[in-house]
Structure 1
Amino acid sequence: MSAYKTIFFLGATGYLGSEFLLLLNREFPDLHIVALLRNVTQEREAQLRALYPNSSVVEGTLDDDAVIREQAAKADIVINCASSDHTPSVISTLAGLEINSKNNPRRPPLYLHVSGCGIISDNARGEPVEYVKEWSDIGLDLKECNRRNMHLDSDIPIVEAGSRKENPVRTIIYYPGQIYGIGEGIQKTTLWLRIFLDMTKKLGFAGTWGPGANTMNNIHVRDCASGLLLVLKAASEGKADEGPEGLYFSASMEPKKTYHEWTKVMGDYLFEKGIINQAGSRPLPNEVVDPLGEYGWSLLGGNLFVKPERLAKLGWEPVETKKTPILESLPSMIDAALQG
């Protein structure tokens, strides 16, 4: 990693981003992190430096095109853990990286983007199905995915940037499954848990898109962060697949749990704590699911079966996922989210 000096980081204080920075600091503390932060305060800067002392802050949001372009144009590496579906920030990043590549023709920059397995949803609408295709990341072609699925509007331009000959960018996209567990970084709990928890508290019961028979591979946040670091190390050594081949699923092959199973655990636990008035889980009413439209049905009502063969080639194993299964983790995750 000695050839690299700076990383422009989006999402540094988030759930996966801050977990990753802890690991990065243990192995590569000499890299300088420039983190994009909104609403900068001394407290937020101190939180970041507690994770990664060799860091500085540039204030801005994902909508600040000029800020993102400027930082991407001069960083050796850009890592985006902030949002899988904020296409404008991806376009800004790629524009800055194109300038970067033009200015450094012998050393194109590296872009490591965190997306999600929603790209391969079967849109089962929560219904049980007889067969679900299991997608490998080897031979994966994003243009073969259902174009109505999530993340593709951001991901396809990234692959195209990693495929061109003029002003090329080294691109890798990382696709986590259902991330869970209590993080050691700044944000302790995953976004999907906080969304479902907030919705459950407002409704008074836990629920699913349709009957909740759909499921996906899961991954503990520590394993997800370790896989991301492994990919970065491999890329720095010229050993990672990149461009059209640089698509990495990050997921365990541990038993999958349906949305009905884990929302039932959530409903039962919150009922026992007296926070809601109904135990178990049931299909959510139209007034909840309709506002999200096909976005919600694709992401929250589909099956997402993946096989992380590229990470396996690098020697990665989901150690924490095997030790702490998702259903066993849910009560402590809920407690942490409630306290937060």
Structure 2
Amino acid sequence: MYAPSMSTYPARTEPQTIFFLGATGYLGSVVLAQLAEQAPQHKVVVLLRPGGSSVSTTTSPVPGAASVQEKLNCLKLIHPNIVGVVEGSLDDKEAIAKACEEVDLVLNCASSDHLDSVEATLEGLERNSAAHPGRPPIYIHVSGCGILSDNARGEFKKAEDIPEYSDIGFDLKSSVPQTNMHLPSDIPIFEAGIREKNPIRSLILFPGQIYGIATAGGQPTTLWIRIFLSMARAGGFVGTWGPGHNSMNNIHVVDVASATTLLVLRAIAGTAPEGKDGIYFCGSMERKVPYREWTELMGNILYEKGYIKEKGTRPLAETIVEPLGHYGWSLLGGNQFARPERLATLGWEPVETAKQDMMASLPLMIEQALSEVDWVPTVQV
């Protein structure tokens, strides 16, 4: 029977300062709301850049806020204990590194593949660790199950021929093909978490296909819906990488947020496995929906609403998929099967996923995403 190895560091009972990257985003805004509800004593510093990325609504005011101050005002409605702002983007390495030197914990919900910001974070945390011997800082990074891709290129495979990975005993360097997505960012974090000199306390979360509408006030729609909507607008139909038989674990955004929040609180308490054991898959064991199935529903919805001329789904043309190269084929054309066993040992369950499955949620997700863009239906059905 698996016995989780907990942190070797004592619980931190005093309020902690958390540097939060991605607090305005789809997942990040929900995590921010949960932290405000469950542990409001912890102080938060946020990375914010000027400029709106979408439109503001009554329920999601943050995406359309133009200035840093406007965004901060919106975020303080979600979490009143925001005590500082680092003004800039993920490309501002010096600002990120300096902030990481001065906090107790860094939480990155912003981007799983922005290597410059990961390197800046690790640089700052290494200096932080050197300045506080015996009290290394904590780094919780949200990656993705793209690391598990079998690179099937959308072709049909029997379920028994698709590898399914447990996060217990999983090795980032040997368990999966090293060309898979996210690993260039994940492996340096993992290595920093197992070194002896100036270590950091690393925990990496790997969600599956995140769905649902985020209602905390930040970006309400998941990235993959926005990507496929954009491609449908450009090409006139909803398509797949290859035949689209590939699938992955799905998980509601509220459940990913609850897993992230749990890791933050358990890491502070010293009761979460970390370092070599700080690998956490996050997904439900509900039915995995093949890409060709959910893209068909998406295509039918957009067709019936008059946005595109072709219903259903079919493989995307090479001119569309090839510019994304291996990234697209690995991430959007591969099977990614995970068993989130380590989170289960901490008592986590995908509660919201059991209430709202992905296919039932898809029409509302599409409706929400359409409300964020200036796309007018012009096709007579």
Q: How does 1:10-89 map to 2 (within 5 A)?
A: 10-39=21-50, 40-55=67-82, 56-89=84-117
Q: Which residue of 1 aligns with 2:227?
A: 195
One-letter amino acid of the counterpart of residue 64, structure 1: D
Counterpart selection for 2:261 from 229, 238, 256: 229
Shift of 1:2: 3.4
Aligned residues: 340
Q: Which residue of 1 aligns with 2:63?
A: none
CA-to-partner distance for each residue in 1:158-217, whole Å, 9 max, x for gaps? 011001111110000000000000001211000111010111122111100000000000
Shift of 1:5: 2.1
Aligned mates of 2:236, 2:371 — CA distance in 1: 19
Q: Which residue of 2 aligns with 1:97?
A: 125
Aligned mates of 1:95, 1:233 — CA distance in 2: 24
Q: Secondary structure at the match of 1:275?
A: coil
56-65 or 38-47, larger mean C-alpha shift: 38-47
Aligned mates of 1:157, 1:59 — CA distance in 2: 25
Q: Which residue of 1 aligns with 2:207?
A: 176
Aligned mates of 1:110, 1:31 — CA distance in 2: 14
Q: What is the percentage of aligned positions where both structures have the same residue?
A: 57
Aligned mates of 2:13, 2:215 — CA distance in 1: 27
Aligned mates of 1:49, 1:339 — CA distance in 2: 25
Aligned mates of 1:42, 1:29 — CA distance in 2: 21
CA-to-partner distance for each residue in 1:98-141, whole Å, 9 max, x for gaps? 11111111211000000000011000000011310110000010
Quick check: 1:249–1:309 contact (8 Å CA) kept in 2? yes
Shift of 1:41: 3.0
Q: Secondary structure at the match of 1:287?
A: helix
1:124 to 2:152 alignment? yes
Aligned mates of 2:111, 2:231 — CA distance in 1: 21
CA-to-partner distance for each residue in 1:264-313, whole Å, 9 max, x for gaps? 01000111111111110000001100100111000000000000001110
Q: Which residue of 1 aligns with 2:341?
A: 309
One-letter amino acid of the counterpart of residue 157, structure 1: P
Quick check: 2:13–2:269 contact (8 Å CA) kept in 1? no
Shift of 1:4: 4.0
Aligned mates of 2:293, 2:15 — CA distance in 1: 45
Quick check: 2:15–2:41 contact (8 Å CA) kept in 1? no
CA-to-partner distance for each residue in 1:54-81, whole Å, 9 max, x for gaps? 1132101111111011000011000001
Q: Quick one: structure 1 residues 4 and 102, their matched pair in 2 at CA, closer, same or farther if it must change by over 3 Å? A: farther
One-letter amino acid of the counterpart of residue 265, structure 2: K
Q: Quick one: structure 1 residues 232 and 41, their matched pair in 2 at CA, closer, same or farther if it must change by over 3 Å? A: closer
Aligned mates of 2:344, 2:188 — CA distance in 1: 26
Quick check: 1:4–1:76 contact (8 Å CA) kept in 2? no
Q: Which residue of 1 aligns with 2:142?
A: 114
Shift of 1:42: 2.7
Q: Which residue of 2 aligns with 1:284?
A: 316
Counterpart selection for 1:135 from 162, 165, 170: 165
Aligned mates of 1:58, 1:163 — CA distance in 2: 28
187-196 or 47-56, larger mean C-alpha shift: 47-56
Counterpart selection for 1:6 from 3, 13, 17: 17
Counterpart selection for 2:178 from 143, 147, 161: 147
RMSD (CA atoms) = 0.9
Aligned mates of 2:254, 2:184 — CA distance in 1: 28
